[in-house]
Amino acid sequence: MVQQSDARAAFERVVLRAALAGLALGGGLRAARAAEPLDAQAAASLPEVTVVAMKAPAPARELPLSVTAVGRDFLDAAGAHTVKDAAAYAPNVHVVEFTTRQLSNPYVRGIGASPGNPAITTYLDGVPQLHGYSANVELVDVEQVEFVRGPQGALYGRNTLGGVIHVTSRLPSDHWEGAIEAGGGNYDAHETRFRLSGPVVPDRLRLSLAGGYAARDGFTENDVTGDPVDDREALFGKLQLHLTPPGPWSARFILAGERDRDGDYALGDLEALRDRPHHVQRDVEGHSHRDLLAPSLWVERRGEAVDFTSISGLVAWESRELTDLDYSPMPAVTRNARVESLQFTQEFRLGSSPDAPVELAEDWRLRWQAGLSGFTRAHREKGTNAYAAYVLAPTVDFPVSQTSPRARLDDWGVGAYGQATLTAWERLELGLGVRGDYERKEADLRTFYTPAIAPATALETDSDYAQVSPQFSLAWHVTPSHTVYAAASRGYRAGGFNPISPTGSESYDEETSWSYEVGCKTAWWDERLTVSLAAFYISWRDLQLNLPVGQSYYVANAGDADSKGAELEIRLRPLPGWDLFGGVGCTEARFLSDATSIRTDASGVNTAVNVGGNRLGYAPEFTANAGTQVTWEFRPGLAVFARAEVVACGRYFYNPANTASQDAYALANFRAGLHGKGWMLEAWVKNAFDKEYVPVAFEFPNYQSGFLAESGAPLTFGLRAGVSF
């Protein structure tokens, strides 16, 4: 009760201070309004938001689904450089990120977890990231990040039963331009970013090159050595070529890469971290290294009646980790792991041209799209646990190396989809979509000891999966600025095999869901105010849980669950240069009465635990954000910029048994600076009131509290400066 009261008081203080900051900024704008030219009133209208949530550009306001788009200007103003940063502005989206950046799991409306078999798939420029380890990358030269909530199986197929995250790159410019910025802050943070873009051959070939370097010291101190354990360092870049020859064809090549050299997991006992945040004890300070390369090619043809799109993508990544597996000062167990993956995806898409729908009759028009897609993936994993003498048993008086696992996972699949939208009398739209998918998985899983103190285990197996996913929607455009809709959709998550798991849990079955949603999207006051509201209900079958086994996770089916809730988003621009924004999402996601989870104790024994009626893990009771942003040009070519925001998260549980949780908390962020012609200077602060919280924890029987956990990011602040040309 004390923690809840403290969290509530902190939340109220933050909201009050943010509101006062907004009123102060707004007062300055009102004072300056008399000096504005009359045509500045037109600039007060909010820009129309176009999204690719349904695989073709369309106004977000007209689509019968819940989608939040975080655009380039908003990302820059917020200092958002990762998907987790952007997710703070999407209701009912909660990203759980460990201190090593590759392990980042999004949850939408209570659905999520499992990087090896995600429920929400991230698409980077149309290329699906089949494993979560390649999804969390720096947002380099990005135009927009979209968070599509609810099952999207009818369009995207496998592993989108919670939704889809779209990251879209900025197109190269038709004139030469560039920018470079640098910054620094506490924890010895420093970064540099640049972008150069322009025409190589006028009207034919454009190029853009962007990238940067970012590093900081760790937030968490190892009390054994006095050194930080969770430092970060990344080198990243992106090259784009956009070819637009005469005629209807065009092509776009994108080459993205990232080199991460992160420190170790900042894991410690949950209760110890709450008593003393950002302090752990261990005899080994490890690391987490990741290298990623992702080329992709878009080929498009814009026809008079039919458009064609081809998207080819290759994703190659490798991860190498060293960690103290006992997370204590004792020299008991260390783990070396290497994971590498190579995937190729291909999609061919046909669709009616935006300006040429099929005319069925007077006032009746049909828009359609259809596609074929396929993928192949080769995944290799090898982990070695080095045990000191006497750790495994009193009779084992010598060091032992356990290889767990040496895994080969091969996967391929094909899918076909079709979608049609019938428009009647310019106002009523009926949508119908369906997709069929087939997938085959093969696994070779081996575990053995050196010396051979126990028999080796080996499993070679394969399995086939097939699903059909329909989707229905009805939208009524009451006016061009007001739309109401209802939708029903089915999603599924593929079954598969666990590289690491307790005996008997090497495989898991598919998970399916049906989602029902109603909502409205409206604009008011000459497009200065937009309001979106949605309510949903989701029913799951054979829910997949991400369960801990040692320091790793495995997937197991738990039974059935449901989720229900609502979302509200508001954007307001009272005056040119002054924006107010906010959103809130509420979710109640619970296991049904027949649901069971598995708990593995310190000796490796599995116990079935009934979790019927419990809340799903990492499903916050609410998420919320509210803020204000102002840019005031007080003299020609010189403007003041300021931004204040609060991001809040409701209580959520760490485990299916609901034995440990994080209470509601709120974080406040502020930015302010000067913008001139071709230059900028800003100061920023995140988690301004140094709120202490524990965003991630999992069961670990060897610890006193029974949970390993990581502290949330503390107060950080810094400066950034940049020039553009």
Q: Which helix (H) or strand (E) holds 68?
A: strand 66-71
CB atoms within 10 A of CB 718: 19
Among the listed ranges 9-23, 112-126, 535-549, which one has the minimum average pLDDT value? 9-23
Taking residues 467-476, report their average pLDDT.
Answer: 96
On the question of pLDDT at 419 being above 90, the answer is yes
Query: Coil, strand, or helix at residue 162?
Result: coil
The 3-class SS string of 236-281 reads EEEEEEEECCCCCEEEEEEEEEEEEEECCCCCEEHHHHHHCCCEEC
For residue range 65-120, what is the model confidence (pLDDT) as tens digits?
Answer: 999 999 999 999 999 999 999 999 999 999 998 888 888 899 999 998 788 889 99
Query: Coil, strand, or helix at residue 173?
Result: coil
- Residues 510 and 437: their CA atoms lie apart, in Å, by 13
For residue range 245-273, what is the model confidence (pLDDT) as tens digits?
Answer: 999 999 999 999 999 999 999 999 999 99
Amino acid residing at 252: R
- Residues 220 and 285: their CA atoms lie apart, in Å, by 12
In the prediction, which pLDDT does 553 show?
Answer: 78
Provide the number of structural domains found in the chain. 1
On the question of pLDDT at 11 being above 80, the answer is no
On the question of pLDDT at 32 being above 60, the answer is no
Q: Which CATH number is 43's domain given?
A: 2.40.170.20
Question: Are 598 and 609 a contacting pair, CB within 8 Å?
Answer: yes
Among the listed ranges 452-461, 645-654, 657-666, 697-706, which one has the minimum average pLDDT value? 697-706
**Mean pLDDT over each residue of the chain, to the nearest integer:** 90
For residue range 292-331, what is the model confidence (pLDDT) as tens digits?
Answer: 999 999 999 999 999 999 999 999 999 999 999 888 899 9
On the question of pLDDT at 456 being above 80, the answer is yes
18 compared with 260, residue with greater pLDDT: 260
For residue range 562-618, what is the model confidence (pLDDT) as tens digits?
Answer: 999 999 999 999 999 999 999 999 999 999 988 888 776 655 566 778 899 999 999
Taking residues 337-348, report their average pLDDT.
Answer: 97
* Cβ within 8 Å of residue 58, ≥6 positions away: 50, 51, 52
Give strand pairing partners of 552. 549
Confidence of residue 18 (pLDDT cuts 50, 70, 90): very low
Q: For residue 532, give the nearest of 106, 160, 90, 109 by alpha carbon.
A: 90
For residue range 373-390, what is the model confidence (pLDDT) as tens digits?
Answer: 999 999 999 999 999 999
Q: Which helix (H) or strand (E) holds 10?
A: helix 2-32
Show the domain range for 703: 2-285+293-298+307-325+332-724
- Residues 232 and 212: their CA atoms lie apart, in Å, by 14
Q: For residue 544, give the nearest of 600, 496, 473, 599 by alpha carbon.
A: 496
In the prediction, which pLDDT does 482 show?
Answer: 95
- Residues 129 and 143: their CA atoms lie apart, in Å, by 19
In the prediction, which pLDDT does 705 show?
Answer: 85
CB atoms within 10 A of CB 38: 6
Proportion of the chain above pLDDT 70, given as a percent: 93
In the prediction, which pLDDT does 34 show?
Answer: 32
CB atoms within 10 A of CB 675: 18
* Cβ within 8 Å of residue 686, ≥6 positions away: 79, 667, 669, 713, 715, 716, 717
In the prediction, which pLDDT does 361 show?
Answer: 84
Cα–Cα distances in angstroms (integers) from residue 628 to residues 22, 78, 85, 217, 635, in the given order: 6, 11, 17, 31, 22
Range list of β-strands (E), 135-231: 142-149, 163-169, 177-185, 189-201, 205-216, 221-222
In the prediction, which pLDDT does 562 show?
Answer: 94
Q: For residue 623, give the nearest of 695, 571, 684 by alpha carbon.
A: 695
pTM score: 0.92
In the prediction, which pLDDT does 114 show?
Answer: 80
Taking residues 353-367, report their average pLDDT.
Answer: 88
